[in-house]
Amino acid sequence: MGMPLDVTREQLHADLREYARLAEVGYDPAVVNAVLDALGDEFWPQSWLAVRTTTHAVDERELSIRFVNLPAAANAPDRLRAEGLLEFTGHPMEKVLAAISATEPVQWGVDVGVTSGVQKIWASFPELIPVDRLLAVDGVPESARAHTGHLKRWGGDQLALIAMDFASRTMNLYASIQAPGQITPENIVAILAELGFVPPSEEELTVLASPFTIYRTFSWTSPNILRICFPARYFRDQFPDLDPTLSRFATGPVAGPGPHAAAFYAAYGPSGKYYKIQADYTSPMRFVLPGGAEVPQQR
């Protein structure tokens, strides 16, 4: 199903410029156009479009556009490589992507920094993949295998998607969509304590009363989980006011019929934490998520 007919590239660029202004960052339409051209007008309008930024310092912050739930036929990695927008250098993450797409049904996603280009390639699984099967794939970092018990204990024994960050050489593993109340604030406290990460504030626990998944970040150079993140979806007019940048961002433009929500993310590590926002540009309500899950409830 394509993007509504009244949304043109020109409108998309205008709206991305507005999001860049709200995030206080730059915007390069040539970067976005190159990705649109590579993905093809027959494919990118079929995706769920979202925009993202963080609470990093302005000089480290960026606006990203996300193309989520691209069909397998889009073959996003090959299309981006063919246009010189994604470089394969023999890193193990490339082997993982190739093996997964050869053996599992996938839908692709692409995360694009609007000044820097392609950042992440996502592979989501219409049929959830068992943790053990994913971790057995050649090229998966040993740090992920070393945390098999943690992955299963917190989030269940099936995964919804993976993301390969070509900019930072890391891999994210996403648990299946969690039912409301399946992950509690008490669980979040316990998870962070188990990992030796910074603790959450009471305000964060209130906002994250019912996160819809958990994802962890691994690398090929560290034995540890680098980061863990908890997201919760909100109607835009009820987005939590924990940071002025994110609050501004939640007021940005949308395209097509709603509802349009925004996900608040709290990311924790051993020495710090930060927040992220992913705001719907087009509504995800026409999509079925990994495992046949519905789009998580907004609050």
Predicted local confidence at residue 6, as pLDDT: 55
Predicted local confidence at residue 177, as pLDDT: 94
Predicted local confidence at residue 3, as pLDDT: 44
Q: What gap in Å lies between CA 194 and CA 151, rounded to an integer?
A: 12
State the distance between the two ends of the chain, measured CA to CA, in whole angstroms.
27
Residues 6+ apart with CB under 8 A from 151: 131, 144, 157, 159, 173, 175, 216
Predicted local confidence at residue 4, as pLDDT: 41
Per-residue pLDDT band for 5 (boundaries 50, 70, 90) equals very low
Predicted local confidence at residue 201, as pLDDT: 98
Predicted local confidence at residue 8, as pLDDT: 83
Predicted local confidence at residue 1, as pLDDT: 43
Per-residue pLDDT band for 38 (boundaries 50, 70, 90) equals very high
Question: Taking a C-beta distance cutoff of 8 angstroms, is the pair 291, 176 a contact?
Answer: yes
User: What tokens were used for 217?
Assistant: 């970040």
Predicted local confidence at residue 194, as pLDDT: 98
pLDDT, tens digit, 9 for 90 and up, residues 91-121? 999 999 999 999 999 999 999 999 999 999 9
Among residues 147, 195, 165, which one has the least CA distance to residue 66?
165
Predicted local confidence at residue 298, as pLDDT: 67
Question: Which has more confidence, 114 or 257?
Answer: 114
Q: What gap in Å lies between CA 42 and CA 78, rounded to an integer?
A: 16
Question: Counting beta carbons within 10 angstroms of the beta carbon of residue 119, is it exposed (0 to 12), middle (13 to 18) or buried (19 or more)?
Answer: buried
Give the global pTM: 0.95
Mean model confidence pLDDT for the chain: 95
Within 136-196, residue ranges assigned H as helices are 142-146, 148-153, 185-195
Long-range pairs for 261-264 at CB < 8 Å and ≥24 separation?
Answer: 261/233, 261/234, 261/235, 261/236, 261/298, 262/233, 262/234, 262/236, 263/212, 263/231, 263/232, 263/233, 263/234, 264/207, 264/208, 264/231, 264/232, 264/233, 264/234, 264/239, 264/240
pLDDT at residue 192 above 90? yes
User: What tokens were used for 229?
Assistant: 């993140």
Question: Quick one: what percent of the chain has pLDDT higher than 70?
Answer: 97
pLDDT at residue 188 above 70? yes
pLDDT, tens digit, 9 for 90 and up, residues 113-129? 999 999 999 999 999 99
Predicted local confidence at residue 262, as pLDDT: 97
pLDDT, tens digit, 9 for 90 and up, residues 152-176? 999 999 999 999 999 999 999 999 9
Residue with tokens 């910074």: 198
Q: What gap in Å lies between CA 79 and CA 165, rounded to an integer?
A: 17
pLDDT at residue 87 above 70? yes
Among residues 233, 278, 282, which one has the least CA distance to residue 257?
282
Per-residue pLDDT band for 82 (boundaries 50, 70, 90) equals very high
User: What tokens were used for 184?
Assistant: 């509690």
Per-residue pLDDT band for 293 (boundaries 50, 70, 90) equals confident
Q: List, in sequence order, every residue forming a beta bridge with 216; answer none if it has no partner.
A: 173, 228
pLDDT, tens digit, 9 for 90 and up, residues 49-76? 999 999 999 999 999 999 999 988 899 9
- The ranges assigned to domains in the chain are 9-280
